[in-house]
Structure 1
Amino acid sequence: MTTHPGAPERSVVDRTLSILGVFDRDNRTLTLSDISRRSGLPITTVHRIVNKLHGWGALERRERGGYSIGLRLWETATLAPRYSSVAEAARPCLVELQNQAGGAAVLALRDGTESVCLSFISNDPCLTSVWGDPGCRLPLHVTAVGLVLLANADVELQNEVCAGPLRAYTSATVTDGTALRNLLNKIRREGYAMFCGALSEGHGGIAAPVRNARGTVVAAVGVVGSLDLLQSSRLAPLVLAAAEAVSQRDRTEGLRMVEAGA
């Protein structure tokens, strides 16, 4: 990415956000040169802004000279209402679900056409490496929690996702828009989603919606595990009960779960 001559100069805020935006799950530690290349900003500009971010605590300096996201930025992010209220309500329910079901218990919400993991409770590092830590983003069409969120989203978003392109992660990933739309209809009828092998071969998930006080779906709770674990007759009641428990805490404790962004 390069800056073309004559292009309007980006504001300080834009440049700062560009620098923060170059970090992701696969690029957690970056040198100044890496940041300059990925952001399209001159190295002198990157050096100046990174020093400011480092001083405030938004970035941390690593032993070998690279930078990573700082603890203070993470602490600030946890104050977001869409994170704090739902995650706080869900944690004891997720712990109980994981103990009852085995595998891993996950909580996710929707941000545009992606699901964002808020909490992931597992004793299996292999599951964590695929479904990820809090903050992991995945397309809605490849996980059970994502499908629940998509099935309960507005029609315009469903049309956008079904129109594709739909990325294939495995041979089991649904990449046909009509097939995906039929699957969403089935999820709405049955009240939960079960999806096997779409993101990782040999693994799958089952999920149910979390609703706020107005009945709007704001998140999804699910169980992730190996295919031999995913028996809907056993897990569906557990996942539905966990999702209802989180929803009930919103109604009784006034946690004010807010709706997902478009």
Structure 2
Amino acid sequence: MTTPHSAAPERSVVDRTLSILGVFDRESPTLTLSDISRRAGLPVATAHRIVTKLHGWGALERSADGGYSIGLRLWQTAVLAPRIALTEAAQPHLLELHRQTGAAAILAIRDGVESVCLAYVPHDAQPEPRTGDPGSRLPLHVTSLGLVLLAHASERVRDEVCSGPLRGYTPATITDAGMLKRALARIRREGCARVHGTLNPGIGAVAFPVRDSRGAVVAALGVAAPGEVTLPARLMPQVRAAADAVSRCVRTEGWRLTEVGA
């Protein structure tokens, strides 16, 4: 006999657990049990059972008012990721790049069709809204960092981005598939990406790839600041030098990082 819910596949315990961990984000770092239940699409009783297990292990912490947030044990596990080592190695070079240029210095990787900020040193005149905090995500077609990552992604990823809707953040954002494909070809040919006003009006940006020992692109490093600061002739040598320095760290340490083209 068919039950009312038989058409929907049963979610495994792992799926349900991951869905609970996935409900936390930068805008909502602390959530109540009912918030978690609603966001994860789980009954309160199921959410409570899994949350209790996660809390007991240390993946979640509970505040005095009953709210839950990501726990220390999960953070201790996450810092073992090779990309955390990449972030730590890049930080001094980002700081020096910021000192040299006065611009925001940023390191990013690709996750699906989005760029994810790993490290960020802000410039003095930080535009609003703040979009460069570590962990923040943006569509690949919007920023110089994302364009570098997209240019070196697989053809499948490039086709997926170009065939989908390209959100326009400003009038300068590339929203035409043909124009985006030409821009990506130019980036692969020239070795860097330069944009102006594509995310925030008046903000220019330059980015270069970070490569591993095989020459594969594993990240992008760049700067962003008001247009008069990001004149390409002024900033490109410093940004290239910083990206090359981080690439040398990757090669020296022999980290096996995920290629953006994978």
- Indicate the residue corresponding to 1:232 in structure 2: 232
Counterpart of 1:103, as a letter, is: A
Match of 2:243 in 1: 243
Q: Distance in 1 between the 2:32 and 2:191 partners?
A: 47
CA deviations over 1:81-100 (Å, ceiling 9, x no partner): 2x134213312211111111
Pair 1:32 & 2:33 matched: yes
The residue number in structure 2 matching 1:216 is 216
| Whole-angstrom distance in 2 between the partners of 1:180 and 1:97 | 28
8 Å contact kept, 2:98–2:123 = no
| 1:177 match | 177
Where 2:93 maps in the other structure, the secondary structure is helix
How many residue pairs align between the two structures? 258
Counterpart of 1:20 in structure 2: which amino acid? Answer: L
Aligned to 2:116: 116
Distance in 2 separating the partners of 1:196 and 1:249: 30
Contact 1:130 1:200 in 2 (8 A): no
Matched to 1:210, the amino acid is V
- Runs of 4+ residues deviating >4 angstroms: none
Q: 1:73-222 alignment to 2 at 5 Å?
A: 73-81=74-82, 83-122=83-122, 124=124, 126-127=126-127, 130-222=130-222
Amino acid at match of 1:35: I
Mapped to 1, the partners of 2:191 and 2:9 lie a distance apart of: 50
State the secondary structure of the residue aligned to 1:205: strand
Task: Tell me the C-alpha RMSD between the 2 structures.
Answer: 1.9
Structure 1 residues 188-243: Cα deviation after superposition (integer angstroms, max 9, x where no partner): 22211111111122223110001100000110100111222111001011101111
Cα distance between partner residues in 2 of 1:255 and 1:42:
42
Is the Cα–Cα contact under 8 Å of residues 191 and 208 in structure 2 kept in the other structure? yes
Structure 2 gaps, min length 5: none
Please give the TM-score of this superposition, normalised by the length of structure 1.
0.91
Give the TM-score taking structure 2 as reference length.
0.91
The CA distance in 1 between the partners of 2:41 and 2:67, in whole Å, is 18
* Matching of residue 56 in structure 1 with residue 57 in structure 2: yes
Q: 1:69 to 1:128 in 2, by over 3 A?
A: farther
Greater helix share, 1 or 2? 1
Report the residue type matching 2:37 in the other structure: S
Give yes or no for contact 1:85–1:257 (8 Å, CA) kept in 2.
Answer: no
Which residue number corresponds to residue 21 of structure 2?
20
Tell me which amino acid in the other structure corresponds to 2:58: G
SS of residue matched to 2:168: coil
Query: Structure 1 unaligned runs (5+)?
Result: none
In 1, Cα distance between equivalents of 2:29 and 2:253: 37
The separation in 1 between residues aligned to 2:79 and 2:144, in whole angstroms, is: 25
CA deviation string 1:146-194 (max 9, x = no partner): 0011111122211111112111111211110001111111212221111
Alpha-carbon shift at residue 125 of structure 1 (Å)? 7.8
